[in-house]
Amino acid sequence: MEEYFDLYTLQSRTRRGMEDLYPDPVWVKAEIASLSVKPNGHCYMEFSQSEGGKLVAKARAVAWNSRYALMDGYFLSVTGSRIAAGMEVLALVRVTYHEVYGLSLTVEDVNAEFTLGQREKARRETLARLEREGLTGLQKRIPLAGIPYNLAVISSETAAGWGDFRKHLAENPGKYTFNAVLFPALMQGDAAPLSIEAALGSVAASPVRFDAVLILRGGGSGLDLSCFDDYRLASAVALFPLPVFSAIGHDRDVHVLDTVAHMSVKTPTALADFFVERKRMAEDEVDDAVRRLRNAASAALDRAGTALRMLELRLAAADPRNVLQKGYSLVLDDSSVRLSSVSSRKAGDTVRLVFPDGVLVCTVDRVEESPYSKTERKDGRL
Amino acid sequence: MEGFDFDGTLSRIEEIVRKVEDPETGLDEIVPLMKRAEELASACRNYLRQVGDAVSGNGAEE
């Protein structure tokens, strides 16, 4: 009969071997394939590793409640998200082997900076890919309507950002109006990119001709925003035929979505201000034109007034009464025809000398013609 | 106000302004031009505050 171990002996020897091989905790890089936090606070995970899309390693892991609460809190403060399935992590694990339960990894720590770095690396790779595919500049080439009115808003119905945006838009001091229509979508988590993409599809299919699409969130800055670095979402936005604005409400990072969007602002209220400002500027143009119109009309009236005054002056200058006031008198014959020459008069004729205050009726004694009356002087004067 | 051409209307006002600014334009022409321009400006302002759909709504339910 061949030599054999009973199962317990085999498992005990394996455990001791494991303990000899890994007497201290070791850092291991793996993906969290699944994660479940039990009511008692213990966190059960499954670590995995794939290569070329094929699973090459898998192990159970557990973080006991006392460690898990600390690790998760720190991880959240550094990365902005909680430890979750789908993440690649660098975990400090104690390798344990139990005769009944087999291999298990007890997680002592998770390196948040590693995950952050991995995420940043992935973000840069996505940006580089979008750049290579010529998708990063497409949105910026789409012209925005001069005065946007119909705004398609993609956000969560309960998001603080949507509420802030709506309130800010409705209470603008200029009382400008907008038609902002909500297309609800998930704004965080793994399902968010697909949900936002579906909302974009609804906008495109809507009978309303929208001037712009606004992707809003805001509030809950500690939540996971990595969905806004998703390649598929970014390319869907880049290829969308309407200008897409992003206001993710997070001032710490610039997301891939922000980079491909037509325009990106920090908060939904800042975006509301942008659209209100567009209308205010349009109204300024109208006010300016009306001001110029009134000035031009006023100038035209002034010109007409000046021309009128000039005519009055010329009339006044030509009025014989004004000449009389200066000491001259007007000579009329007895038929009140103005006389400008002595030639038609003879002694005994009656002439009338008109003064400002009356008329002298005179009889001509004699006529004396001027020696200059027949010939013009060389200097042209009479 | 659907289909209102804001930019075109603003251009029309600008045209009137230039005509009123022209010293050759007579006073009798200016009065109706002013009236027309004020009407157009009023239409522009109304357009900016047009009473359309309420702010909110739900696109997915349309």
pLDDT tens by residue, B23-46:
888 888 999 999 999 999 999 999
Which member of A169, A279, A290 has the closest CB to residue B55?
A: A169
Q: Is B25 on the interface with A (CB under 8 A)?
A: yes
- Kindly give the interhelix angle for A268-318 and A160-170, rounded to the nearest 10 degrees: 10
Minimum distance, in Å, between the CA of residue A309 and any CA atom of chain B: 16
If we measure between CA atoms, which residue out of A156, A262, A258, A255 comes closest to residue A165?
Answer: A156
For each of chain A's 382 residues, which pLDDT tens digit applies? Answer: 788 989 999 999 999 999 999 999 999 999 999 999 999 999 999 999 988 888 999 999 999 999 999 999 999 888 878 898 888 899 999 999 999 999 999 999 999 999 888 888 888 899 999 999 999 999 999 999 888 999 999 999 888 889 999 999 999 999 999 999 999 999 887 789 999 999 999 999 999 999 999 999 875 544 567 788 899 999 999 999 999 999 987 656 678 999 999 999 988 999 999 999 999 999 999 999 999 999 999 988 898 889 889 988 988 887 878 888 888 888 999 888 989 899 889 999 999 999 989 999 999 999 988 877 654 444 545 4
A180 contacts on B by Cβ (under 8 Å)? 55-57
A203 contacts on B by Cβ (under 8 Å)? 59
State the Cα–Cα distance between residues A217 and A65, nearest whole angstrom. Answer: 32
| Contact present, A32 and A22 (Cβ < 8 Å) | no
Q: Which residues of A162-201 are buried (b: 16+ CB within 10 A; e: fewer)?
A: bbbbbebbeebeeebbbbbbbbbbbbbbeebbbbbbbbbe
- Are the beta carbons of B21 and A285 separated by less than 8 Å? no
In angstroms, how far is CA A1 from the centroid of its own chain?
A: 84
- Are the beta carbons of A203 and B59 separated by less than 8 Å? yes
Residue B56 is predicted with a pLDDT of 43
Q: CA geometry: angle at A262 spanning B10 and A250, to 5°?
A: 120
Radius of gyration of chain B (CA): 17
Residue A15 is predicted with a pLDDT of 93
Over residues B7-13, mean pLDDT: 93
If we measure between CA atoms, which residue out of A277, A153, A258 comes closest to residue A216?
Answer: A153
- Are the beta carbons of A146 and B7 separated by less than 8 Å? yes
Residue A374 is predicted with a pLDDT of 55
Question: Integer distance in angstroms from the first to the last C-alpha of chain A?
Answer: 165
pTM (2 decimals)? 0.68
Which member of A177, A285, A303 has the closest CB to residue B50?
A: A177
Q: Is B8 on the interface with A (CB under 8 A)?
A: no
Question: Which residues partner with A28 through β-bridges?
Answer: A91
